[in-house]
Amino acid sequence: MKGADFLNAKLVLVCCAALLVGCASDNQAEDASSDGAQDAQSNAEGVEVAAVAVDEPCTCFEKGLSRGQLRYCRESKRDVSFLEALRKCGSSEVAGVSAIDKMPGDGQYTMNPKTSIIQWKGEKLGMTEIGTIPIRSCTISIQNEGLVSGNVVVEMNGIKSTSQQGLEARNLADHLRSEDFFDVANHPTAAFIFESGKSDGRGGLEFQGKLNIKGISKVVSGNLRFSSSDPLVTTVSMAFNRADFDVRYGSGTFFDNLGDGLISDEVILQVAMVEDYEMRKSN
């Protein structure tokens, strides 16, 4: 994956928050119950539920919608005018997540490591180095229309350089795997755990979590955006200070008078993750 291609990806997000609006008659409640039972039966039989239009966009914020109505609301968010109408609904900022585009429904999502990747970027005296790291596994959990947890495990032995070519790229990757940097022989994986997320007011989620590198765990934060909810596709942007994880080589935090050997302590990560949709369908 080319660094420029990866960084040029643009993602925009929205979700619906759930509110109880108005009341239904006994007959309406009975009809809704019947519709829900039929939807559940159809879902159990593997029959796709057809979209059922709602009276107006703001209806998407109500509780008790059938699966067909929920599908209509979800698919209609692809329309710019529908999104704008949702933002004008009185409950548009409920729970701080309603401004998020393409927020997936509640559940746990398993991402496909074959189509998911991490891009890293570092600086040395104004020169940018870029590379990739493969993902071993990743799950994300959504509950009450918010990010509640997630776990990403990274294969550190697969770290590569994409800004260099040939022998230079291989030498840089070998050096990054060595004890000077990430000591992959003793720490073959790294991990990040999502712990919370809230709207950033610009269509994405600000999250906090814990990053574990070389057996050291530190709190970090970043931004997450969804580009699709069905299947789930998301990108994560974050940065960390390598000195916090005892990655010492060329660091001004640990050494003085490095001159041309000074390497920035900040490492920027861009993560692209795509859901393993076949696994969702098999559950």
Question: Comparing C-alpha atoms, which of 241, 245, 239 is closest to residue 269?
Answer: 239
* 25 — pLDDT class (breaks 50, 70, 90): very low
Q: In the predicted model, what is the mean pLDDT of residues 242-246?
A: 91
Q: Residue 150 and residue 142: Cα distance in Å, rounded?
A: 9
* 89 — pLDDT class (breaks 50, 70, 90): low
Q: In the predicted model, what is the mean pLDDT of residues 226-248?
A: 89
Q: Residue 66 and residue 254: Cα distance in Å, rounded?
A: 60
Per-residue pLDDT tens for 169-191? Answer: 999 999 999 998 899 999 999 99
CB of 241 closer than 8 Å to CB of 265:
yes
* 76 — pLDDT class (breaks 50, 70, 90): confident
Domain 107-282 - what CATH class? mainly beta
Q: In the predicted model, what is the mean pLDDT of residues 245-262?
A: 58
For residue 29, what pLDDT is reported?
A: 36
For residue 282, what pLDDT is reported?
A: 59
Helix (H, G, I), strand (E, B) or coil at 214: coil
222 or 91, which is more confident? 222
Q: What pairs with residue 133 in β-bridges?
A: 118
86-95, 124-133, 213-222, 253-262: range with lowest mean pLDDT:
253-262
Q: In the predicted model, what is the mean pLDDT of residues 245-273?
A: 70
For residue 46, what pLDDT is reported?
A: 53
What mean pLDDT value characterizes the chain? 75
CB of 164 closer than 8 Å to CB of 129:
yes
Q: In the predicted model, what is the mean pLDDT of residues 196-211?
A: 86
For residue 126, what pLDDT is reported?
A: 75
Return the residue matching tokens 């746990």: 108
Angle (nearest 5°) at CA 149 between 111 and 232: 30
Amino acid occupying residue 281: K
pLDDT at 277 over 90: no
Domain extent listing, the chain: 26-90, 107-282
Helices (H), the chain: 3-7, 26-44, 67-76, 80-87, 166-177, 277-282
For residue 111, what pLDDT is reported?
A: 94
Phi/psi at 49 (5° precision)? -80, 130
Q: In the predicted model, what is the mean pLDDT of residues 109-132?
A: 90
Q: In the predicted model, what is the mean pLDDT of residues 255-262?
A: 40
Q: Residue 67 and residue 69: Cα distance in Å, rounded?
A: 5
